[in-house]
Amino acid sequence: MKIALVSEHASPLATLGGVDAGGQNVHVAGLARALAERGHEVTVYTRHDSDEQPSRVGMAPGVTVEHVPAGPARPVGRDRLLPYMGQFGGYLERRWAADPPDVVHAHYWMSGIAAHVAARGVGLPVVQTFHALGSVKRRYLGSEDPSPSGRIRMEAALGRAAAAVIATASDEVAELGRLGVSRHSISVVPCGTDLERFRPEGPTHPRADRPRLICVGRPVERKGVDTVVRALRRVPDAELLVVGGPPPGELEASAEIRRLRAVAREVGVADRVEFVGGVGRGTVASLLRSADVAVSVPWYEPFGLVVVEAMACGTPVVASAVGGHLDTIVDNTTGVLVPPRDPMVLARRIRSLLADPLRRAAFGVAGADRAGCRYSWDRVVGETLSVYERVQPEKRGKVAAAGGAA
């Protein structure tokens, strides 16, 4: 098949760790490569944000990234991109009218708007993955939610209009149902993990002779890193590595990193917290392998790729019992689930794990086995292709004809 992946703000070529560069970028890049390895021709459409970007870039054999001229040629926060989606969709419509793909897969709600603008004119099926839902974000952030007004209403319309919706976790299915999306159109397909890079064997980052905790992710408040910093006060002698954000030399440019440094000083653990900054994926794997426990306690988390990557590295995980974590972690088997925003409970669970090397080892083995069985790209791309095949116009026509004959 010729497959179009639309990812308006999350480029598969982006440097990870910034405010708007995280799991979605990794997922789109991995999905594109995995589809191409199955023999499909993949084009990823993402917004141009620099005059220096070429219009088309070969990312991997069979994968092309096309930079769409929509809005200014500079970085723009994703919550300010909505006004440019008509321009983005118009560009796609012109491209697809001349050279249509077989299926369009939109990633994130604004990508869905652009994809539907274009696909409607040329009769293409659109598969939608939201990655995060406005209804959930509004529930947890309330008035501090920076999303454009009307997001929830538009997500409901996109979900109902899509030929199929792919949810990355079972928790999302109920949310989509509340938006009026038919359960029959929803398939749960998780994000995949690069098991060649994230595995128990491999380089391990140097460490001091004391317990090590690690948090990996974008520097945004809802990731709950401040909860881990506050918990560290009750985990004597342990050190905490915080990975993500700007490059190491530019950390002070991040308001969230500055806030976390202040929290660490407030609770008296500044000498035990190291802010690593944004690093390459290979370095993330070696850092995860070096830790005794990986901690991920966001207030909400649509999927939580870092948790799966830690499990794949054989590192036991303590994570908040929210969103995708409820799927990925088998509580007290591959890791421990805790309530979000509760540093006292978090500290107690971490201390318990650090005091029990045998339990940590068992969690590590079970986690690596679960990551390998459920979150390999081979399995994820197979399930994704099954959805693509179901929405092909000729297949849908045959199904309708068979139903009418019956």
The predicted-structure confidence for 156-183, as pLDDT tens digits, reads as follows: 999 999 999 999 999 999 999 999 999 9
Closest of 286, 287, 283, 307 to residue 295, by C-alpha? 307
Q: Which amino acid is at 311?
A: M
Scanning 183-242, the segments in alpha helix (DSSP H) are 225-232
Q: What angle do CA 170, 171, 176 make, to 5 degrees?
A: 95
Q: CA-to-CA distance for 42 and 29, rounded, in angstroms?
A: 11
Burial 68-107 (b: 16+ CB within 10 A, else e): bebbeeeebebeebbebbebbbbbbbebbeeeebbbbbbb
Tokens linked to 166: 């792919």
The answer on pLDDT for 383 being more than 70 is: yes
Torsion angle of C-alpha atoms 105, 107, 112, 118, degrees rounded to 10? -50
Q: Which of 243, 232, 325 is closest to 317 using CA atoms?
A: 325
Predicted confidence at residue 404, as pLDDT, reads 39
pLDDT tens-digit series, residues 328-356: 999 999 999 999 999 999 999 999 999 99
pLDDT at 403: 36
Work out the pLDDT band at 143, boundaries 50, 70, 90: confident
User: What share of residues in the chain are helix, strand, coil (percent, to 5)?
Assistant: 50, 15, 35
Q: 22 or 209, which is more confident?
A: 209
Give percent of the chain above pLDDT 90.
Answer: 83
pLDDT at residue 127 is higher than 90: yes
Assigned token pair, 54: 């070429």
| Confidence category of residue 97, pLDDT binned at 50, 70, 90 | very high
pLDDT tier at 16 (50, 70, 90 boundaries)?
low
Mean pLDDT on 100-125? 95
CA dihedral 362, 367, 369, 371 (to 10 degrees): -170
- CA neighbor of 33 nearest in space, from 2, 4, 8, 63: 63
Task: Report which DSSP code applies to 129.
Answer: E
| Lowest-confidence segment of 13-22, 35-44, 195-204 by average pLDDT | 13-22
Residue 399 has pLDDT above 80, yes or no: no
| Torsion sign over Cα 29, 30, 32, 33 | positive
Domains parsed from the chain with CATH numbers: 2-192+377-405 (3.40.50.2000), 212-374 (3.40.50.2000)
Contact 389, 42 (CB under 8 A): no
Q: How confident is the model at residue 88, as a pLDDT?
A: 97
Task: Tell me: pLDDT of 401 over 50.
Answer: no
pLDDT digits (tens, 9 = 90+) for 45-92: 999 999 989 999 999 999 999 999 999 999 998 899 999 999 999 999
Instruction: Using pLDDT thresholds of 50, 70 and 90, give the confidence band for residue 21.
Output: low
Taking each helix axis from N to C terminus, what angle separates 225-232 and 255-266, rounded to the nearest 10 degrees? 20
pLDDT, tens digit, for every residue of 363-377?
A: 999 999 999 999 999
Pairing assessment for the beta strands 56-60 and 63-68 based on DSSP bridges:
antiparallel
Give the mean model confidence (pLDDT) for residues 226-240: 97
pLDDT for the residue numbered 140: 81
